[in-house]
Structure 1
Amino acid sequence: MERNTINPRIESLDYIRGFALLGIILVNILALLDINIPAPHTPDVSYQRFLYLFVEGRFYSMFSFLFGVGFYIFITRAKEKGKNGYILFLRRIIVLLAFGAIHSIFQPGEALKYYAICGFIVMPFYKVHKHINLALSVILLSWFGLMGDKLLLTFPLILLGLSVGQYRVFENLSQKTKKVFVFTAVMFMISLIGLVIQYSLIPHSPFQNMILYSEDGTMDQASEFLKMGVTVGPIISAFYVGLLLLLLQIKMVRILLSPLKYYGRMALTNYLGQTAFILLAGNLLFKSVSAITYMQSLYICLAIYVIQIVFSFIWLRLFRMGPLEWIWRIVTYWKIGPFLIKK
């Protein structure tokens, strides 16, 4: 008989959320600040290629997948407590949609509103059998991936997260090390093939960070390269997640990566905070500069990492959750819960 109880908190998910945030900001900053197309034969060229081989589309996929896992956990826990999980989740995604709508004023690549919209769509699938959800999500991921449409991938990634939640993959991971290893090895091999194909499409000259179509519907080499990146993105994301889960089984690694746990527990606050810090840096440090380089964007992100991770660690020593997470919870449950940690 399948067990119905979900552990109070699955820490591995916090680590993955924190890891996803590290990659998301590296791409989002390109849309928020005016970034120069790299000059040939400079470190900026190498960094641009690194971004589109190993970051772009990989961490967004991870974040979308985690939303689906969180959706399953949220409704299941609510039902176990005798509450109407669907009503609570509706309130939750309405608040998320509001956060996303405000955020989109500042961040053109904002994702929260799409998560909220997909949340409405995915709700009926909670009662669908896990095998069906898994099969449907894989089929849609393959279809939309071959189309090279990053936005369309959001729904099947969330549905995949829901099905993985139904399979309870993230519970008792220490007992599933062999299965995780096999999964990670398979994803590594497929990812390697995908990366080799994408690498073969790298344009000789630096490129704009968007897929462009000509009047007859054809694409240049840079666009083919970027489209292939979208296609293989979810596969590489799966490899990243599997590898991280394996590493977290090692105590020393878990301790070294513990800052990611705090970073991920405040994912909403830190995700929106990234935009605020980027815009602040752009206005204060580069206001007199017409555009910045790719490497300068990396330095800004590294500084934001330090600030946010230290802040998250200190904040969660004093409070139960992040400030925006607390507001989100209040509106979801229509009550003010405990916020301070009792000493």
Structure 2
Amino acid sequence: MDPAGVRPRIHELDAVRGFALCGILVVDIWQLTDMRATIGAGIVDPVRHVLSVLFEGRFFPIFSFLFGLSFSLFLDRVAEGGDRPRLVLARRLGALGLLGLIHHVFQPDEVLLPYAIVGLVVLLPAAGLTRWVILLAGLVATIGVPVTIGGGLGLVPGLFLLGMAADRFGLAENLRDRGWRIAVVFVLAVPAAVAAGVWEYRTPYSDLWTGSAAPVAGLLGSLAYFTGFLLFLRTETGEVFAEVLEPMGRMALTNYVSATGLILAADPWLGLSDSNRYGALLGSAVAIIAVQALWSYYWLRWFRYGPLEWGWRCVTWWRLVPNRLTRVERRKPTVPYGRGRSR
């Protein structure tokens, strides 16, 4: 039996994870294809500058936070099974690190290997701490890193801990009952994110790599995006988007890795390398999202997990885990997204 597969998923967070994947994809494309950021000596391409303020550093924190939260949820589920939880989790992170090492050959800026390392070094030891200690450590690390050493992968430990703390405080439970709390955070985050975004936009390009403008603006922007999207999911239009993005989020590992292959395969045809063709970048991002949305939707009509998710789960439990849905499960009616689907 697979203890991690018996509890219902948190559907809103799957949709948010799919949303974050879409934002990360835009940045991954210009990193993988090495597109030009400038149009002259120290002059930033205006379109790239706007895209950076809208996308760069905004979705990676969401993805990292959700990884920490999911890790904590998984730890609880493994502990319920009583099957040497730390060994199971160490094996899970080791498998993720091996996949990340392979992925790194094609995508040098990939995050799976760093995630695995930080998970082993930070999350596993932190699992035995009280929730208040985890929260305090997460806040100190998340706030301290941008104002001292910058952003990037340095934000991962703090965001992982904040995600774990969110689970320990039960913030992920019954998300649909926390609408007003999310709305308060959103109302506070938006003006702060706009002000920080203006600060980042006005910062000289040469100073963005060493200053605090970009990481601070990225964190505030990610908070605004995260809470705003959770509120958006409560609308009728949001329910439609959720039905598209939730399968992508459930297959986040497969979609994240496969996007690298799709980008590298399309680049010779699109000619993005060493160019400023940011319109073509956005078009290719939309095309990849459409392909992955369809692929994820139809795959999950027949299988419980995505291909890489299934392999990862098998290594985690060190046995073959059933993946194909039974005929009865395929016929089971789905619950409309906004009606009782928080778990």
Interval of TM-score (by shorter of Structure 1 and Structure 2):
0.7 to 0.9
**CA distance in 1: counterparts of 2:47 and 2:69, whole angstroms:** 32
Partner residue in 2 for 1:331: 315
Native 8 Å contact 2:65 2:160 kept in 1: yes
Shift of 1:186: 1.8
Native 8 Å contact 1:248 1:254 kept in 2: yes
Partner residue in 2 for 1:97: 97
Partner residue in 2 for 1:215: none
Verify: 1:270 aligned to 2:255, yes or no. Answer: yes
- Could you list the per-position Cα deviations for residues 209-228 of structure 1 after superposition, in whole angstroms to 9, with x for gaps in the alignment? xxxxxxxxxxx34546x751
Native 8 Å contact 1:31 1:108 kept in 2: no
Partner residue in 2 for 1:236: 221
Partner residue in 2 for 1:191: 193
**CA distance in 1: counterparts of 2:234 and 2:283, whole angstroms:** 31
Shift of 1:39: 4.3
**CA distance in 1: counterparts of 2:253 and 2:164, whole angstroms:** 19
Partner residue in 1 for 2:325: 341
Give the aligned residue type for 1:194.
A
Verify: 1:130 aligned to 2:115, yes or no. Answer: no
Verify: 1:79 aligned to 2:64, yes or no. Answer: no
TM value normalised by structure 1: 0.86
Among candidates 278, 281, 293, match of residue 277 of structure 2: 293
Partner residue in 2 for 1:311: 295
Quick check: 318-327 or 226-235, which moved more?
A: 226-235
Verify: 1:17 aligned to 2:17, yes or no. Answer: yes
**CA distance in 1: counterparts of 2:220 and 2:208, whole angstroms:** 21
- Could you list the per-position Cα deviations for residues 210-256 of structure 1 after superposition, in whole angstroms to 9, with x for gaps in the alignment? xxxxxxxxxx34546x7511122122211211111112223442133
Native 8 Å contact 1:130 1:166 kept in 2: yes
Three-state SS of the structure 1 residue aligned to 2:143 is: helix
Native 8 Å contact 1:130 1:163 kept in 2: yes
Partner residue in 2 for 1:212: none
**CA distance in 1: counterparts of 2:212 and 2:260, whole angstroms:** 25
Shift of 1:282: 1.4
Change (3 A) 1:163 1:50: same
**CA distance in 1: counterparts of 2:18 and 2:212, whole angstroms:** 26
Quick check: 290-299 or 103-112, which moved more?
A: 290-299
Shift of 1:168: 1.6
Shift of 1:278: 0.4
Aligned residues: 317
Native 8 Å contact 1:32 1:278 kept in 2: yes
**CA distance in 2: counterparts of 1:135 and 1:187, whole angstroms:** 20
The residue correspondences of 1:216-231 to structure 2 (distance < 5 A) are: 220-221=206-207, 223=209, 227-231=212-216
- Could you list the per-position Cα deviations for residues 239-279 of structure 1 after superposition, in whole angstroms to 9, with x for gaps in the alignment? 21111111222344213331110110000000000100000
Partner residue in 1 for 2:341: none
Change (3 A) 1:37 1:253: closer
Verify: 1:153 aligned to 2:155, yes or no. Answer: yes
Structure 1 gaps, min length 5: 1-5, 208-219
Native 8 Å contact 1:52 1:229 kept in 2: no
Native 8 Å contact 2:270 2:280 kept in 1: no
Partner residue in 1 for 2:69: 69
Partner residue in 1 for 2:31: 31
TM value normalised by structure 2: 0.86
**CA distance in 1: counterparts of 2:106 and 2:28, whole angstroms:** 11
- Could you list the per-position Cα deviations for residues 62-96 of structure 1 after superposition, in whole angstroms to 9, with x for gaps in the alignment? 11111100110001011123332211111110000
Shift of 1:193: 2.5
Native 8 Å contact 1:36 1:294 kept in 2: no
Among candidates 253, 256, 277, match of residue 241 of structure 2: 256
**CA distance in 2: counterparts of 1:285 and 1:178, whole angstroms:** 45
**CA distance in 2: counterparts of 1:285 and 1:39, whole angstroms:** 19
Shift of 1:342: 1.1
Give the aligned residue type for 1:304.
I
**CA distance in 2: counterparts of 1:290 and 1:187, whole angstroms:** 35
Shift of 1:199: 2.7
**CA distance in 1: counterparts of 2:36 and 2:125, whole angstroms:** 45
Structure 2 gaps, min length 5: 1-5, 328-343
- Could you list the per-position Cα deviations for residues 125-155 of structure 1 after superposition, in whole angstroms to 9, with x for gaps in the alignment? 1121111111111111111111313121111
Three-state SS of the structure 2 residue aligned to 1:257 is: helix
Quick check: 252-261 or 98-107, which moved more?
A: 252-261
Shift of 1:51: 2.0
**CA distance in 2: counterparts of 1:252 and 1:303, whole angstroms:** 21
Native 8 Å contact 1:26 1:301 kept in 2: yes
Q: Among the aligned pairs, what percent are the same residue?
A: 33
